[in-house]
Amino acid sequence: MQQLQGKVALVTGASRGIGRGIAEAFAAAGADVVVNYRSHADEAQAVAETITGLGSRVLVRQADVADRGAVRGMFDAAIDHFGHLDIAVANAAHSIREPVIEAKWENILRTVEVTQFGVFHTCQFAAQQMVKQGLRGNRSAGKIIVISSIHQELAFPLSAGYNMAKAAVNHLVRTMAAELTPYHINVNVINPGWIDTPGERAYFTEEDIRRGAQILPWKRLGTIEDIGQGAVYLASDAADYVTGTTLRIDGGFMVGLGLPGGAGS
């Protein structure tokens, strides 16, 4: 089913992990895709080849989302190439795990610059373009999706910079949703749970991941395809009446939390 036929989508951090899952799911649903990456050029090209293999057009664009000028240039290139923009996904993020009392300021700053400010740059430029394009027919003038995390809800240790940045972007989504309702632009956020991505291998062994999956309610980590399908829904006409909401895709992680032995309070 081509829910996104004729649409153009821009996805930041799309060379691997969740961003890749979203970009490929969009292409499978009929959208043309701008694949943003910062440092994994070969993987971005592999995503582009998958997208063209699915019959969609693609533009690959390198940009560090923490660099406002680079993000502006990426949007300009996307409009020059495709003529319009219907969907923007602010996915790119950065995290270095350290306890607060030992955290290096440069690591906190970089985390916030990418994970919070990079989301702001992406969302603002997307909204400006969508407002400029205006409402076409009686459907949404555009869809903006932010990829946040259950870190926004739970204070995971060793992730102070990441946690506070994710909490900030969730509130940004609600603010933008309120401001953009007159333009019929939908703004929503996805909170993924523990997702099987290359980034997890920086902190966990394969055995850690296998064992960890068994304590989750679904008995598996989430996949990039799980997140991709949620993003397709929010980007589609089926979600035209959905804005300012948080879609948690976590296989029951949050609702499965409880005291040892399942004891109640």
Q: Tell me the per-residue pLDDT of 117-160, one tens digit each, with 9 for 90 and over.
A: 999 999 999 999 999 998 766 678 999 999 999 999 998 899 99
Residue 214 lies in a domain: yes
Residue 265 lies in a domain: no
Phi–psi pair at 92, nearest 5 degrees: -55, 135
User: What was the pLDDT predicted at 185?
Assistant: 97
What is the H or E stretch that residue 226 is in?
Answer: helix 224-235
The ranges of the chain with pLDDT < 50 are: 259-265
User: What was the pLDDT predicted at 258?
Assistant: 59
Residue 1 lies in a domain: no
User: What was the pLDDT predicted at 1?
Assistant: 67
Residue 261 lies in a domain: no
Enter the tokens of residue 59. Answer: 């533009």
Report the alpha-carbon distance of residue 210 to residue 106 in Å, rounded. 33
Enter the tokens of residue 228. Answer: 């991709």
Structural domains counted in the chain: 1
User: What was the pLDDT predicted at 88?
Assistant: 98
**DSSP conformation letters of 21-72:** HHHHHHHHTT-EEEEEESS-HHHHHHHHHHHHHTT--EEEEE--TT-HHHHH
> Angle 118-133/160-180 helices, nearest 10 degrees?
10
User: What was the pLDDT predicted at 205?
Assistant: 83
Residue 109, domain CATH: 3.40.50.720
Kindly name the residue from 162, 183, 203, 233 that is annotated as catalytic.
162
Quote the domain boundaries for residue 60: 8-256
User: What was the pLDDT predicted at 220?
Assistant: 92
Q: Is 162 a catalytic residue?
A: yes
Residue 3 lies in a domain: no
Residue 126 lies in a domain: yes
User: What was the pLDDT predicted at 201?
Assistant: 78
Q: Tell me the per-residue pLDDT of 223-250, one tens digit each, with 9 for 90 and over.
A: 999 999 999 999 999 999 999 999 999 9
Contact 102, 158 (CB under 8 A): no
Report the alpha-carbon distance of residue 60 to residue 33 in Å, rounded. 8
Residue 263 lies in a domain: no
User: What was the pLDDT predicted at 260?
Assistant: 47
What is the H or E stretch that residue 175 is in?
Answer: helix 160-180
